[in-house]
């Protein structure tokens, strides 16, 4: 597959949809969790979406429970949490795996196109990375991938990189 538009995923209602519907937009794909120390990034992600959505920008949120079980709810509970607690209005898809044998093909592609460059460190990371067979695996919740209007992966942001860094990158390609 050559772009993200070739992938199908499940939306928040469990219906299979194609990412082709986002063709021509600048896309930020995140893997998220509702009970993570990085969850407050929603406070900055929603305003980022609001500021640029009319210029062809969208955030696609994919909850993942692979990191310390920090997204334990079902898809409906996760959506309700994000919309009521943080006012999230960008698309939240069905929960999926980002690493391992059950990893979503979309995230396998994203990791291949934007490998891990290092720099992200957490106490728990040492324990988790020993379980990983792939150095490019997602290390934690709120890893972000920036996609250009042609569906090509431009950049990977680790969870500890602030949303301001992401905003600057988005502004450059809008």
Q: Known catalytic residues?
A: 36
Which among 28, 19, 60 is positioned nearest to 167, based on CA atoms?
A: 28
With vertex at residue 159, the alpha carbon angle to CA 157 and CA 160, rounded to the nearest 5 degrees, is: 100
Cα dihedral sign for 86, 90, 93, 97? Answer: negative
Measured CA to CA, the distance from residue 56 to residue 155 in angstroms comes to 18
Beta bridge mates, 63: 32
Q: Which of 118, 98, 113, 107 is nearest to 153 (CA)?
A: 113
């Amino acid at each position: 597959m050559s772009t993200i538009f070739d992938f199908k995923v499940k939306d928040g209602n469990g219906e299979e949809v194609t990412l082709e519907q986002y063709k021509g937009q600048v896309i930020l794909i995140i893997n998220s969790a509702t009970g993570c120390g990085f969850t407050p990034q929603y406070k900055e992600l929603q305003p980022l979406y609001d500021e640029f959505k009319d210029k062809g920008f969208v955030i696609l949120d994919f909850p993942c429970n692979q990191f310390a079980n920090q997204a334990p709810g079902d898809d409906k509970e996760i959506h309700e949490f994000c919309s009521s607690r943080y006012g999230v209005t960008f698309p939240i898809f069905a929960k999926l795996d980002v690493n391992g044998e059950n990893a979503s093909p979309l995230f396998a592609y994203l990791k291949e196109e934007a490998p891990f460059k290092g720099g992200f460190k957490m106490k728990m990371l040492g324990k988790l990375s020993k379980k990983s067979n792939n150095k490019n695996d997602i290390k934690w919740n709120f890893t972000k991938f920036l996609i250009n209007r042609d569906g090509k992966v431009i950049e990977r942001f680790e969870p500890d990189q602030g949303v301001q860094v992401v905003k600057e990158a988005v502004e450059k390609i809008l």
